[in-house]
Amino acid sequence: MKNRKTVAALVAMNALRGRITPVPTDMDVFEVLAEMPEMGGIHLSESAQEIAAKAQRIEDSRITYLAVNVSDGDLMITMLCDIPEERLTNENEMLSRDGYAFAYVYNNNSPWCSEYGDVFVEKQPDGSIRRVG
């Protein structure tokens, strides 16, 4: 049986590769974010707990997926949100919305530019799902 730290590290590793990666239902996203610097992947500009708290400001929301990507030279952590109005708990729900999903996008280079909004995700030929817009 894998321990929480190992599971969080595996999720972080896949997210750092740009794949939209599910966060286990019994795990808070801050546990995954905290593993990213440990793995040498990225240096977070704020603590993992601060970033997770910002991403989950909407009442009754939960981060169900995340990915890391670069856009215009800025490192972005895209956290797809499961909110009461837009249930997002599985891959089919994500892809059934014409590829649009509600997310908190944390701009690691410029945290003040982080925001909630729709992102566009798409299934890739290798079977992974990536943020493409």
Q: How far is CA 65 from CA 15, 25, 58, 126, in A?
A: 9, 10, 16, 18
User: How far is Cα 82 from Cα 31, in angstroms, rounded to an integer?
Assistant: 18
- Give the domain ranges of the chain: 4-131
Task: Tell me which amino acid residue 112 is.
Answer: W
pLDDT in tens, the chain (133 residues): 579 999 999 999 999 999 999 999 999 999 999 999 987 778 999 999 999 999 999 888 889 899 999 888 899 999 998 877 766 666 666 666 677 888 899 999 999 999 999 888 888 898 888 888 8
- Whether the model clears a pTM of 0.75, i.e. scores above it, the answer is yes
